[in-house]
C-alpha cells in the first residue's frame, strides 16, 4: 500500500529531501560554515555569496520533481521494512551514484 498520509507527504518525505540535499550540497555547506566561523558577527554581510550558493543548491533539489520521487521511494521502502520487521532503521548516509 503506497498511499501517503498528510504527515508523510508534508513532514517525513520533506525531511528525507532536506537531509539528502544537505549531503549532495555538502561542499557548499562546508564553504558557508567555514566563512561563518572565520567572520563571526559580520557573516551576514561577508558570507552572502556562500549563502546564496548554498540556497541555490538546496532549492534546486527541493524543487526537482524527480528528486521528490526518489525520496518518496526511499521513504516507502523504509516504511515497508518497518512494517515487516517492527524495527526502525537509522537513515543511512546517502551516497550519490555517478
At residue 40, the pLDDT reads: 81
pTM of the model: 0.77
78 half-sphere exposure, CB direction, 13 A CA radius: 15
> 25 with 61: CB under 8 angstroms?
yes
pLDDT of residue 6: 93
Q: Are 81 and 75 in contact (CB under 8 A)?
A: no
Question: In the predicted model, what is the mean pLDDT of residues 63-69?
Answer: 97
Per-residue pLDDT reduced to its tens digit, 15-53: 999 999 999 999 999 999 999 999 888 888 899 999 999
Instruction: Measure the CA–CA gap between 57 and 78, rounded to whole angstroms.
Output: 26
Amino acid at each position: 500500500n503506497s498511499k501517503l498520509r498528510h504527515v508523510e507527504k508534508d513532514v517525513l518525505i520533506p525531511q528525507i529531501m532536506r537531509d539528502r540535499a544537505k549531503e549532495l550540497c555538502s561542499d557548499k555547506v562546508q564553504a558557508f560554515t567555514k566563512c561563518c566561523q572565520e567572520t563571526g558577527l559580520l557573516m551576514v554581510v561577508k558570507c552572502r555569496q556562500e549563502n546564496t550558493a548554498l540556497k541555490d543548491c538546496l532549492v534546486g533539489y527541493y524543487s526537482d520533481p524527480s528528486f521528490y520521487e526518489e525520496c518518496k521511494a526511499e521513504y516507502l521502502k523504509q516504511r515497508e521494512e518497518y512494517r515487516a520487521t517492527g524495527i526502525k532503521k537509522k537513515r543511512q548516509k546517502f551516497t550519490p551514484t555517478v
